Chains A and B, each alone.
Chain A
Amino acid sequence: SQQGEEDPQALSIQEGENATMNCSYKTSINNLQWYRQNSGRGLVHLILIRSNEREKHSGRLRVTLDTSKKSSSLLITASRAADTASYFCATVQAAGNKLTFGGGTRVLVKP
């Protein structure tokens, strides 16, 4: 079964709006990563947050991590049409060494 589960599965917003997606996981983690995938392409790493961190920023991206709730959120501020993509969270378990991906959130940003 998947370690990470994203919510919602799909999201449609207007350009300029913020997009928020969530990821929940089941077991203790070493770190959690977010990736973006444009249609039919490979994944691109966006941001990594470690289990001892609570918040991290990268440009228009803000990631939070709540280890007590085993959840993370990715916020994209001031969205652009180019942000249209699928977004995946991936976890590295505390006792493991592999990335385990969730099913992804499809984001559509309408011009």
Chain B
Amino acid sequence: DVKVTQSSRYLVKRTGEKVFLECVQDMDHENMFWYRQDPGLGLRLIYFSYDVKMKEKGDIPEGYSVSREKKERFSLILESASTNQTSMYLCASSSPDRHETQYFGPGTRLLVL
């Protein structure tokens, strides 16, 4: 069965802290994605990766960076957390055909104080 896991369900951080969100998939998918979800705005793509050590900016990359050192793991990094980064963060993965189904993790709800 397909599985995408995220390191934390809930996180509380302080402004200025460096935050790491981890995502692991067990489907041997090449493609991995990070989204944030805010009320009324739907899901917005932050970064994505089509292969190890490869990354591409999504629609809202400012304030974020990513790391893909292994195929199964995609990390989202908030270099210096700010209150406007309080959100639900969702990781997803998909097969090499980029147009096909994405499989999502359960999400990490991040609160930045």
Binding site for B on A (CB under 8 A): 2, 30-31, 33, 35, 40-45, 48, 88, 90, 92, 97-104
- State the majority secondary structure of interface residues on B: strand
Given contacts A31-B99, A43-B90, contact A98 B42 (CB under 8 A): no
The main secondary structure of chain A at its interface with chain B is strand
* B103 interface residue per 8 A CB criterion: yes
How close is A15's CB to chain B, nearest CB, in angstroms?
Answer: 27
Closest-CB distance, A67 to chain B (whole angstroms): 16
Q: Is B4 an interface residue (CB 8 A)?
A: yes
Docked complex Cα distance between A92 and B99 (Å): 6
Pair A48/B106 contact, Cβ less than 8 Å: no
**Complex Cα spacing A98 to B46, Å:** 11
